Structure formats: C-alpha cells, structure tokens
Structure 1
Amino acid sequence: MEIESQEPFPKNSIARRSERTIDIQGVKHHTSSWRACSYILVTQCFEELAYFGIQFNLVTFLKTVLHDSNVTAARNYTNWQGTCYIAPLVGAIIADSYLGRYLTTVAFFTVYLLGMAAMSISASFLKGGSSQSVVFFLGLYMMAIGAGGIKPCVSSFGADQFDDSSPAERLKKYSFFNWFFFATYIGSFVSGTAVVWVQDHYGWAVGLWLPTLFIALAIASFLLGSSKYRVQKPMGSPIVRVFQVIVAAIRKWNAVLPYDDSLLHELPEKTPMAADIHKLQHTPVLRFLDKAAVISSTEDPSDSDPWRLCTVTQVEELKVIIGMLPIWTTGIVFFAVLAQFSSTFLEQGRSMNKLVGAFAVPPASLASFDAVSVLIWVPVYDRVLVPAARRLTGSARGISELQRYGAGLLLSVLVMVAAALVETRRLALASAHGEGQSSMSILWQVPQYFLVGASVVFTCVGQTEFFYNEAPPSMRSLCSALALLTVALGSYVSSLVVTAVAWLTTRGGGPGWIPDDLNDGHLERFFWLLATMSALNLAVFVYCATQYKRKTVS
C-alpha cells in the first residue's frame, strides 16, 4: 500500500487553489483552519446528539406511542435508516453541482430542524389518532432527508478549511478527520446514555424537544463560524461530467489514439476554467476512455462540445472513480460485520448472565463500550501512534489512508473471532450446568465491543480520508456520499447472510445456527463464518490496495 508523497504542491497549484477558494461573501479567503473547524466540530457533536437521540429509541416510540407491532416497527425503522443513507447522494449532488457545501449544509439543516420540530409537536400536542402518526412520520422523513443531506457535506467542508498547498495545514487536515469522528461519538455516547434516560423517565414530549434543541444549537454553531470559513465554488454536476466522458468515448469508438499522449485535449493554463480545476496527469489505464479526449480533424478544441470532446483531466476524473470502486466494495463487507453489534451481539448478551453484583446490565447498554472505545482510540491514534509511525516511516501522516483502512479490516476479523470464542465458552457452560441462561457474565462481551470501536477508528476514518483526498475536487461530496452508502449496503448484506444461514441450517427440521433459544443453536459457527468473510475481504483489500495508483496532479 502506497504512502503519500510529501512533495510540496507546485506554485501553479497554489494559485489555482486560491482562485477557487472564497469566503461566503465571494471574496478570496485565506483559511484560519482550526479556528474555522472548531465551529464545525461543535456542529457535528450537536447534530449527532440529535440524530442518535432519535435513532436509539425510535423503535420504542413506534411501539409504545404509535402502537406499531414488532414487525411494523422494525420495518419503519429500517425504511427510515435507509432514507438516512440514500439522502447523502442527493445532498452531495446539490453541493458539488449547484450550491456548494456551505449553502447545502444550511439548506438541509433547515429541513432537519423543521422535521425535528414536527416530531416534537406530534408528541406534545397530538395525542393518539391518525393525525399524530401523519405529523410524526412527516417529521421523521424530513429529518432523514436533512440528516442525510448534510452527512457528506460537513466532513468535506471541514477538510476544505485546510490548504493542501501548505505542508503545515496538510498535517492539521490529517488530524481533523480523527477529531471529526471523536465529536461524532461524543454525541453517540451522550445520546445513548443521558438522552435515552431522559426519554424513558420524563416522557416523549421532553425527550423529542431535547434533540430538537440540539439541532438548533448545531445550526447556531455552524452559522457563528461563517466569517471564518473558506468556501470552494461548485464546479458543475459531477454526474454530467462523468456521462460526458462516456458519451464522447462511445461516439469516437473508431478513433485512433495518438502515439503521444500530449496530443490529447487539455485546457491550457491561461484558460479561466483551468484555474478552477486541478489538472490530472494522464494514466495508461482504461485506454478506451481516452478516446473522449482525441481531437478529430473537424474539431476546434477552443470551442468544442463537451459531449464530443473532453479534457484529459475530465477523463482522469472518471478513471479515479472507477479505480476506487474495488476498495469501496470492501467497505460493504466491513459494515455487514459491524451490523452484528446491534443485532446478534444483543441476542448473545440476552443469553448470558446479566447480573453484575446487584445490578442487571441491559444488553443494549454494552453498545456504549463501542463509543467509549472510539473516544479512547482517537486521541491515542492522533497523539501516540501517528508520531511513532512518522519516526518509523518518514511520512508526515504516519501511515497512509489505505494502511489505516487495512488495519481496521484486520481488527474486524478479530471482532468476530472474539465473539465466536465467547459464544463457544457460553454454550459449554450452559450445557455443563443445564441452564436456560448461561452462567457466563455478560461482561465477557466487552472486549468485542472495544474491538468494534477500534476498527471504526481505523477503517471508517481511513475510508473518509481516502475518498476525500483521492476524489477530484468537483466530486468530493459525491464520493463522501458513496462512502456512506456502504453503511446501508452493509446492513442489507448482513440481512441477506442471516437469511441464507437460517434457511440453509434449518433444512430438515433442525433448529439451525440462530434459533430463538441460542442454547439449541450454534451462533459461534455464524460468527466464525463472518470472521472468514472478513479475512477474505481483508485479502481482497490488500490486493486492491497494492494495485491502486494514486491520482497525480499536474
């Protein structure tokens, strides 16, 4: 896996960066980096307080207030979460194509706040009946669209505050993604403990207005930093740019590629449009796409139709996206494994001894150890591991995004190995004592939850960095949205695997690996299956990472 080159950016790159970097008034702007990002990190923390304040207890609300059945509540929850991770694609396209990340964030935050307010009103003033359900679900899906729309924008907008042409600011950007996830999991931890407790003890009127307040504070924090932000101008629809290359290449199916790549079409340095785009060097892969940049004898490059003639940079942008796809797919399996910590891990915990002294530990509460692990690992990684890695590798970032990503995938294997070993021991004790519930303490699950948190710090942060840094500037929000899409696809893969295992292992009338009474099944085999899938996924990733060629800016 490649380590990022520490060569400084060329001077013309610095000039291009400054010309497309402005403040919200449209004036050229020099970033104050961490001063600007402090507002963004506070915004992210408050937003996650609101988001998880709804997510953690949504099924409970649907069942106790709206009186949904178990199946209906589960389906409504899944549909809502799916919307949360499809909406990022919409937000990303709007940000990259039309409004830019700042205005897109403000717009979707407004939808978010209105949705939260509608849910709160339904719980406070509409008691029972169809009107309560209609208003609540209207608010719930407005919230999903708002939350999804800002997800690919906020992290990318925070990274935009750092100037890649400055080595000092480039180092700060490496740390930003760590602290962005730190802020995220502060919100997760506080919501999973304090906010859920308020909802359970003070009712849903207070319990929903509290997350609404958090969103209002998130918006206030974001707007307070407006004068400090650097804002990058949108550079046109990334989807259109992609299709222009494909259409132009197909139209020139019979064109002959020149022997000299410099004869392919590219905008000259003095062209105004070229000042807004990092020119990418030509790469000798996917040569068919290069036909989109072949200049025919009848074409005038200075006045060409982009659906017939594209620049080398535009072609290389598409090559970059295609090149990242194999690595993108490995994230799907990773999130399929992580989906277990909110599903089969809970089932495992319910079959264990939940008493710790006189206190009964709810199995769902162990998920907080995932957040605690992230809150521990982020500063350890940023302040201990990175400086040590810098001394060993000589690289300013310590280890590359792909090396970090791979380390997280290795940890995901260990997550499932730990869960399988715990389940094997639990079954042995349950069998030996002939008990319906194992005498094995639920605290034996803590290591697997801590490993989940560690894998998040490595893989999720590495994934976010990789897609931001490698994506063309015109497609950064879109690529961030694609990274988020792996979360939803991973959940679907997890459901598919569980369904397939249940069908295959219950053929012939047996209880299967995952029966209602886990003492009659073999959940450990399911965990070993996922460990094997994770190991194969890691092997695929290592191969893809060694073959991956980083984009090169001219």
Structure 2
Amino acid sequence: MDSTGQFYRSPLLEEDNSVQEDSVECTGDGSVCFRGHPASKKHTGKWKACSLTIFCSFCSYLAISSISKNLVSYLTKVLHETNVAAARNVSTWQGTSFLVPLIGAFIADSYLGKYWTALIFFTIFNTGMMMLVLSATFPLISTDPHVWPAWTYSVSSQHIIFFFGLYMVAIGYGGQNPCVASFGADQFDDTDDEERTKKSSFFNWHHFAINAGALISGTIIVWVQDHEGWLWGFAIPALFLIFGVGSFILGSSVYRFQKPGGQGSAIEGSRKLVHTTGFEFFDKAAIVTSVGCESVGRLNAWRVCTVTQVEEFKILIRMLPIWATMVLFATVLAQMSSTFIEQGMVMDRHVGPLEIPAASFQSVDIITVLALVPIYEKILVPVFRKFTGMAKGITPLQRCGTGLFLSTLSMVSAALVEGNQLQTVQDRGLVGQNVAAPMSILWQGPQYFLIGAGEVFSLIGLNEFFYEESPDAMRSLCLAFSLANISAGHYLISFIISLVPVFTARGDSPGWIPDNLNEGHLDRFFWMMAGLCFLNLSAFVFCAMRYKCKKAY
C-alpha cells in the first residue's frame, strides 16, 4: 500500500536471489545422492554414473528394436495381415511408444523422480516382453497331439496375448525412455563449465549406444527370428533387458538425483531466467495486485508467479513451432520399419551366396550412425568450431535443420529406386506377378544412409535442444515432449498411409501401395513425402531464425 492506503501495482515480481554458499566438495545444481545428502562432485555423477544409464539404454533399445525392425514381417507372414494394415499397425504401435514418455516424464518431474519412475516402467516393459515370449509358444503348443483342449483356439489366443504384450512393451519402454535419458544427463553439473561441456558429448554417445543395440537387433536378432523362430527371437532381447535394468539398479550409489520439482522451479539451486520481451501479456502473472495478496507481506502463489515461472511458460510456447516442424522427420524415420521393408521384400535380396532379410537392411542406417557419431564428435565439431567460435561447433537448431535436409534427400532417393524398379518390372513383363524384381536390394543403401546421417544431426540435436532450453525442473517432461514428436510423426504417417488407398485406388487400379507392389506406384508415395519434407524444411528455417534462446543466471 502507499501512504493513502491504496494498493498499487509493482513491477515484475523479482526472484529470491539468496543462494546458500555451496560446499567445494558438492555439486552446485542442488542434486543429492541416493541417501538424500548433497551430492559429492568427486564420488558421484559424471561418466562413471552416466555410463551405466547408457548401457541400460543400449539394452532397452536392443529389446524394443528387436520387435520393431521385423514387426511388419511378423504381422504379414505369421498373423497374415495385408501390407497396408501391417504398415498402419506398425506406425500406430511405434507412435504409442513415443507418446507414453509424456506420462512417464510428468510422473518423474512432479512426484516420484526419474529413478523410481524408470524402475516402475521397466517392470511393465519386462512383463510385456515375457508376454511376447509366451505368445510365441502357442504355435508350438497347438502342434502337440496331446494339447489340452483349452488351447485349441491358439490362433485367437496368440493374437490377444501378442498385442496385449506388444502394447505393454510400448508403454514400458516409452515411460522409462525420457527418465533414463535425462537422468543420465543430470549426472553432469550445469554450474560446472567443464561438466556442462561434457553433457553435449553424453547425448552423442547415448545415441551411439542405442544404435549399437539396434545394429545387433537388426542383424543377429532378426536373423534368429527368420531362421530359428520367434520364441528365441523374443527370448534373447528379453534377457538383454533384464541385464540392462540390473546394471541401472547397481549404479544407485554413484548417481546424482534431482528432486522432483512439481513442474515449477522448486529445485533448490536451480537457475533463474532473465526477463525477455515477447508474449508480454504473460508478464501480468508476475505483477503484484491486491488479489494476489492473502495478507500483508504474503503473496498467493496460485495467482502471482515469479519472473522465472513466467519465462518458463514462454519457453514452452516458443518451442512449439520447432516441435511441430520436426514432425515430418519422424514420418521419414517411420518408413524404415514399414514401406522401406515392403520395398525391399520385392527386390533381389541375394548378395553373393547370402540372402539378406529385408528388415536387416536397416543396419545400413545404424552403421551410418555408429560411424558418423565419432566423426561428428572428433572431426566435424572442431572444424565447425573454427568457423563459428562455438564450443559445440554449431547450435542444436542448426543440427536439426541439416538433418531435415538429409531426410528430404532420402525420400528422393527412395522414389528414384522404386521408379527404376517398376520400370525394370515393366520391361521384363513381370507386371501383375507377385515375384521379386531383378533389381538388387543394395540400391536401397543410399536412402538408409541419408536417414542415418539425418539422425546424427536431427535426433541428437532435437534432444539436446529440448534438454538445454527446458526449465530446470521440467527436463524429463520436455525431453519426453521431443519424443512425442516422433509419436506424432508415426501417427501422422499411419493416417497418411490409410488415406493412400482411398484416393489412389480407382476401378481396376489397385492404388499406390497394393499387396503386390509390382502393380502399384510406391514411387509416387515417396515423391509426395519428398515434397512435404521440402515444404516442412522451409517452415523450420523460418521458425528457427526467429527463435530466442533462454538466458539463465
């Protein structure tokens, strides 16, 4: 009140800048050890701790990619679904696995913390894997002449248990994914310049590890599924998952833990944000008024926010256009587990005396990532640094834009390959015959390579962008938000694929993606995707050039 007894509107509510002096031996970001005491800089965190989370992510991704990489083959050959139905089901399931992270991250940031939330979803993940193993035993049970009569309807029972287990795997993997990833990044202290620089390397090597898991699943596990059966094909990744979760639990004593902040800046020691222009109407939430006071000298937290809380909300609004323009990249990634495999299944898959499973050719993408991550870390970053003067070489947004460009080229490459294949089929009089074309599957190499290169730039850049720009108390949620981008991309491509036969099948024409691809025009579908990717890249550049990065102190 002023001297006349009237309430007045003050400037923006200032932060409480009183910070307790940190011990030299403890971290400066408010993290604690497993027992709840301030975390020691010497005995906790850094690479010795995050390496265990990286190994856990390696095992987790090996398990889920062992399913996703050959799922379209399982649905068409074992469950006898059509190409369109299988591609749609694969995209819908993968979309679910990247949507659930929002739930897991919300629980982690608001209530349980990342560690305990991850363990809960790991339990669901393991249960789902066990159900897939169980479903794979049904064909073996049904062939036994002494089978119990209740198992005579094994086909329908197999469907029910398989899909129930499949979606438990999606929920379990999706819920733990942002928790483990951001928990690993939390092992580096943001208030320490040296550790903060290493955090960028963590995202590179984390992505390297999950692609190493994908390489094993896409070669060895897929081969086991095709040649030794699905029982072993599901049991082996289930064992890897158990090893990964065990290693995650064993590292509990060396981890650094951030207390859940309840979606506000409640983490002790968290950084404050500088007030920015733009979206200024939100600043009213940080202005003291009579309705914001319950009593003299006391503010109602439900009505009056701090500057940092307002700026955190502005950050989320600013990130939305970046998030939206990265959705098309996820639709390109989805092609590797659906249309690319279907394209490879009707090509000549013999390389010398060996016959390559169509799903295994995704290994080109994985090998590309494994090769380019060290090259990016050791060669490209120093080169970029000479031109930009930045410690990281280029910004996360610049990495994302480069990846979008490469994904557009991938769709162009896929369209050219399919066009040449259809021309070969027509020249040899194979139209209408459901046989493999004489064109080698090796021609798919460039499209997989370009997507892999795009991943090194876009996926890692997007995760780093959301982690760095997110409020300190909402990092799991924002990292999950970046994963939800992939979910949206899978749902979008599932919707697009569903519309393709509606608009392209006319009379005797079977449409662009029929069961017999030799009668269709999959090349036109790829050209359409290339055009959408180019338009999306233009929109991304427009949004990225206008994005304002956060400033913390």
Query: Per the shorter chain, which TM-score range?
Result: 0.7 to 0.9
Matched, 1:348 2:373: no
Q: Per the alignment, in what secondary structure is the counterpart of residue 28 of structure 2?
A: helix
Shift of 1:111: 2.5
Distance of 2:310 and 2:207 partners within structure 1: 33
Partner of 1:332: 327
CA 1:198–1:154 in 2, change beyond 3 Å: closer, same or farther?
same
Kept after mapping to 1: 8 A contact 2:30/2:267? no
Partner of 1:106: 119
Partner of 1:277: 270
Q: Per the alignment, in what secondary structure is the counterpart of residue 553 of structure 1?
A: coil
Moved more, 286-295 or 406-415: 286-295
CA 1:68–1:449 in 2, change beyond 3 Å: closer, same or farther?
closer
**Residue from 191, 202, 220 that aligns with 1:165:** 191
CA 1:62–1:335 in 2, change beyond 3 Å: closer, same or farther?
closer
Distance of 1:522 and 1:64 partners within structure 2: 23
Moved more, 108-117 or 466-475: 108-117
Shift of 1:117: 3.1
Distance of 1:13 and 1:163 partners within structure 2: 17
Distance of 1:72 and 1:432 partners within structure 2: 30
Partner of 2:209: 183
Distance of 1:424 and 1:61 partners within structure 2: 27
Distance of 2:33 and 2:222 partners within structure 1: 39
Shift of 1:274: 7.9
Moved more, 523-532 or 226-235: 523-532
Distance of 1:148 and 1:314 partners within structure 2: 28
Kept after mapping to 1: 8 A contact 2:29/2:191? no
Q: Per the alignment, in what secondary structure is the counterpart of residue 552 of structure 2?
A: coil
CA 1:354–1:62 in 2, change beyond 3 Å: closer, same or farther?
closer
Partner of 1:147: 173
Q: Which structure carries more relative contact order (alpha carbon 8 Å, separation 6+)?
A: 2
Shift of 1:275: 4.1
Partner of 2:485: 486
Distance of 1:388 and 1:533 partners within structure 2: 32
Partner of 2:302: 307
Partner of 2:4: none
Question: If the length of structure 2 is used for normalisation, what is the TM-score?
Answer: 0.84
Partner of 1:217: 243
CA 1:432–1:195 in 2, change beyond 3 Å: closer, same or farther?
closer
Shift of 1:64: 7.2
Kept after mapping to 1: 8 A contact 2:315/2:469? yes
Distance of 1:412 and 1:69 partners within structure 2: 29
Shift of 1:38: 1.2
Partner of 2:280: 287
CA 1:79–1:430 in 2, change beyond 3 Å: closer, same or farther?
closer
**Residue from 16, 32, 36 that aligns with 1:26:** 36
Q: Per the alignment, in what secondary structure is the counterpart of residue 289 of structure 2?
A: coil
Q: Deviations over 1:139-187 (max 9, x none)?
A: 4443322211101111111111111222221221111111111111111
Shift of 1:456: 0.9
Distance of 2:520 and 2:306 partners within structure 1: 59
Partner of 2:466: 467
Q: Deviations over 1:195-231 (max 9, x none)?
A: 2333344444433332221111111111122122111
Kept after mapping to 2: 8 A contact 1:13/1:278? no
Kept after mapping to 2: 8 A contact 1:13/1:165? no
Q: What one-letter code is carried by the residue in structure 2 that aligns with 1:86?
A: L
Kept after mapping to 2: 8 A contact 1:14/1:165? no
Shift of 1:546: 0.6
Question: If the length of structure 1 is used for normalisation, what is the TM-score?
Answer: 0.84
Q: What one-letter code is carried by the residue in structure 1 that aligns with 2:181?
A: S
Q: Per the alignment, in what secondary structure is the counterpart of residue 35 of structure 2?
A: coil
Matched, 1:553 2:552: yes
Kept after mapping to 2: 8 A contact 1:353/1:440? yes
**Residue from 386, 395, 398 that aligns with 1:391:** 386
Q: Name structure 2 gaps, 5 residues minimum.
A: 1-16, 142-150
Partner of 1:527: 526
CA 1:88–1:298 in 2, change beyond 3 Å: closer, same or farther?
closer
CA 1:511–1:77 in 2, change beyond 3 Å: closer, same or farther?
closer
Q: Any residues of structure 2 matched to 1:30-179 within 5 Å, and which?
A: 30=41, 31-58=44-71, 69-70=81-82, 77=90, 80-121=93-134, 123=136, 127=141, 128=151, 129=154, 136-179=162-205
Shift of 1:11: 12
CA 1:521–1:460 in 2, change beyond 3 Å: closer, same or farther?
same
Distance of 1:353 and 1:64 partners within structure 2: 19
Q: What one-letter code is carried by the residue in structure 1 that aligns with 2:237?
A: P
Q: Deviations over 1:12-53 (max 9, x none)?
A: 699597262111111111244111111111111111122222
Q: Per the alignment, in what secondary structure is the counterpart of residue 98 of structure 2?
A: helix
Q: Per the alignment, in what secondary structure is the counterpart of residue 447 of structure 1?
A: helix
Distance of 2:80 and 2:515 partners within structure 1: 22
Distance of 1:349 and 1:72 partners within structure 2: 18
CA 1:374–1:134 in 2, change beyond 3 Å: closer, same or farther?
same
Distance of 1:311 and 1:296 partners within structure 2: 13
Q: What one-letter code is carried by the residue in structure 1 that aligns with 2:400?
A: Y
Q: What one-letter code is carried by the residue in structure 2 that aligns with 1:107?
A: I
Q: Deviations over 1:408-438 (max 9, x none)?
A: 0010111112122223333343344434454
Q: What one-letter code is carried by the residue in structure 1 that aligns with 2:118?
A: T
CA 1:385–1:515 in 2, change beyond 3 Å: closer, same or farther?
same
Q: What one-letter code is carried by the residue in structure 2 that aligns with 1:281?
A: V
Moved more, 433-442 or 164-173: 433-442
Distance of 1:189 and 1:11 partners within structure 2: 50
Q: What one-letter code is carried by the residue in structure 2 that aligns with 1:412?
A: S
Q: Name structure 1 gaps, 5 residues minimum.
A: 1-9, 242-266, 268-272
Distance of 2:205 and 2:242 partners within structure 1: 22
Q: What one-letter code is carried by the residue in structure 1 that aligns with 2:368?
A: S
Shift of 1:320: 0.2
Partner of 2:5: none
Q: What one-letter code is carried by the residue in structure 1 that aligns with 2:287?
A: V
Shift of 1:495: 2.9
Partner of 1:253: none
CA 1:52–1:28 in 2, change beyond 3 Å: closer, same or farther?
same
Partner of 1:406: 401
Shift of 1:371: 1.0
Moved more, 177-186 or 126-135: 126-135
Moved more, 288-297 or 453-462: 288-297
Q: What one-letter code is carried by the residue in structure 2 that aligns with 1:284?
A: T
Kept after mapping to 2: 8 A contact 1:409/1:534? yes
Kept after mapping to 1: 8 A contact 2:327/2:485? yes
Q: Deviations over 1:257-310 (max 9, x none)?
A: xxxxxxxxxx9xxxxx58443211111211221111121135438532222111
Q: Per the alignment, in what secondary structure is the counterpart of residue 346 of structure 1?
A: helix
Matched, 1:419 2:432: no
Kept after mapping to 2: 8 A contact 1:105/1:149? yes
Kept after mapping to 2: 8 A contact 1:112/1:143? yes
Q: What one-letter code is carried by the residue in structure 1 that aligns with 2:452?
A: G
Q: Per the alignment, in what secondary structure is the counterpart of residue 480 of structure 2?
A: helix
- Structure holding more helix per residue: 1
Distance of 2:233 and 2:357 partners within structure 1: 20
CA 1:494–1:205 in 2, change beyond 3 Å: closer, same or farther?
closer
RMSD of aligned alpha carbons: 3.0
CA 1:320–1:487 in 2, change beyond 3 Å: closer, same or farther?
same
